[in-house]
């Protein structure tokens, strides 16, 4: 059986890490089994870490990009093809004995493949890089690398829509971006956007607006181009550099501000856009109201109709307004909903998508957990003696620390 070391959209078979281990029955291979079956996963989190302190190796979360980086490194630097990096081999990478000590788990003086993977993952976590940064870097390289040299010259990126800060990525000022510079630049921008509350849906929406409304080809939206994408002049208050145009980052900030003011989560915004994208054949930005109803077969009567003007058609604004009302009534965001879904999936032994008192007891949760059996009466809002996802998500949201 091949177990997976990652979860989610990009599952990578553990078998990839066994390459080179068949003839090497070392402790590292046994360690690999232990690591793989402890459920390391790909949740994209930024781990604040002191660069001077080495990471605890077995606490590191391995991503697909770590496995890929290990394979590339061994192809180039494992000169004797023995599945490990000896001292002379890792010194070619300018790694010292002190550098490798925290990751030399079997104390052999060499680095096995899994040990190198852990070291590379620790360096990635310290840089705040997540899998999505690598995915986007690959996507942009394929799109803009016109001479197919694996790098991006700044001249190739003159018409890019993904960043207006692209020149700052070029750390060594050689007018081109290596894969490492591109990934690190994307990671830095993502963290900066996170501080502003800008999510991926906002960045993607900004790029779509520019693709739709940019008439003069400058990869921005000027005041005279806003009408083409149904934006008004008030949007220009997000023109932070006062150049009378809105760049990708400025439009993303506007969309994030608008989303948060309306009370939508990223999943709400993506749903609204997907409804328009899939059900608007003539491209006029309107979809039949009944199609949205089919996607929402159990509407809450307190929300009213999403078709506020009664014309049988829904605009993006009408859909977003309806979803914002629905979100307020639900009383929880995407993070709380995801956590509730995970807890129910782990502990729902009879498959009814609810947690009974018996299941709460079986979970072994302590009094600090939302699954502590004595909290059932606090969470159970409909009085059916069980907790469903919405009830649990509301409780998690209410008790979540800011």
What's the rounded Cα separation, in Å, for the pair 57 and 44?
18
Give Dmax (Cα) for the chain. 75
What's the rounded Cα separation, in Å, for the pair 277 and 358?
45
* Structural domains of the chain ordered from first start: 15-126 (1.10.238), 131-195 (1.10.238), 200-261 (1.10.238.10), 267-330 (1.10.238.10), 334-399 (1.10.238.10)
- pTM (two decimals): 0.68
- CA–chain centroid gap for 303, Å, is 31
What are the percentages of helix, strand and coil residues in the chain, rounded to 5? 55, 5, 40
Helix 113-126 and helix 64-77, axial crossing angle in degrees, nearest 10: 120
What does each of the 402 residues of the chain score in pLDDT, given as a tens digit? 333 333 333 333 333 333 334 333 333 343 443 333 333 333 333 333 344 455 688 889 999 999 999 999 999 999 999 999 999 999 999 999 999 999 999 999 999 999 999 999 999 999 999 999 999 999 999 999 999 988 899 999 988 888 888 999 999 999 999 999 999 999 999 998 888 899 989 999 999 899 989 999 888 999 999 998 889 999 999 999 899 999 999 999 999 999 999 999 999 999 988 888 888 877 778 888 887 765 555 556 667 778 888 888 898 888 999 999 999 999 999 999 999 999 999 999 999 999 999 999 999 999 999 999 999 999 999 999 999 999 999 999 999 987
């Amino acid at each position: 059986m091949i177990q997976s070391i990652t979860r989610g959209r990009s599952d990578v078979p553990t078998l990839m890490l066994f390459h080179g281990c068949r003839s090497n029955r070392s402790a590292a291979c046994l360690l690999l089994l232990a690591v793989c079956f402890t459920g390391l996963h790909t949740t994209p989190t930024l781990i604040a870490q002191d660069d001077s302190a080495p990471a605890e190796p077995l606490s590191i979360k391995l991503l697909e990009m770590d496995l890929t980086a290990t394979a590339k490194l061994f192809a180039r630097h494992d000169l004797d093809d023995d599945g490990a990096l000896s001292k002379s081999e890792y010194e070619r990478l300018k790694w010292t004995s002190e550098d490798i000590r925290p990751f030399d788990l079997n104390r052999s003086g060499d680095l096995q493949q899994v040990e190198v993977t852990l070291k590379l993952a620790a360096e990635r976590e310290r840089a705040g890089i997540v899998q999505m940064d690598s995915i986007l870097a690959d996507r942009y390289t394929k799109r803009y690398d016109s001479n197919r040299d694996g790098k991006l010259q700044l001249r190739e990126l003159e018409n890019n829509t993904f960043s207006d800060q692209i020149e700052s990525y070029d750390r060594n000022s050689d007018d081109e971006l290596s894969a490492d510079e591109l990934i690190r630049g994307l990671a830095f921008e993502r963290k900066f956007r996170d501080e502003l509350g800008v999510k991926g849906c906002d960045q993607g929406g900004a790029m779509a607006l520019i693709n739709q409304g940019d008439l003069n080809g400058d990869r921005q939206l000027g005041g005279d181009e806003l009408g083409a994408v149904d934006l008004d002049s008030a949007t220009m208050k997000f023109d932070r550099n006062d150049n009378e145009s809105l760049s990708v980052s400025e439009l993303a900030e506007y969309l994030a501000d608008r989303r948060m003011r309306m009370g939508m989560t990223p999943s709400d915004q993506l749903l609204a856009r997907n409804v328009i994208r899939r059900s608007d054949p003539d491209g006029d930005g309107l979809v039949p109201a009944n199609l949205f109803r089919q996607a929402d077969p159990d509407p809450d009567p307190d929300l009213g109709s999403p078709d506020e003007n009664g014309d049988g058609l829904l605009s993006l604004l009408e859909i977003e307004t309806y979803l914002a009302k629905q979100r307020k009534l639900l009383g929880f965001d995407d993070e709380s909903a995801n956590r509730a879904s995970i807890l129910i999936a782990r502990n729902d032994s009879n498959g009814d998508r609810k947690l009974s008192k018996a299941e709460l007891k079986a979970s072994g949760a302590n009094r600090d957990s939302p699954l502590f059996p004595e909290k059932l009466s606090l969470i159970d809002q409909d009085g059916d003696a069980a907790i469903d996802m919405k009830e649990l998500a509301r409780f998690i949201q209410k008790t979540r620390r800011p």
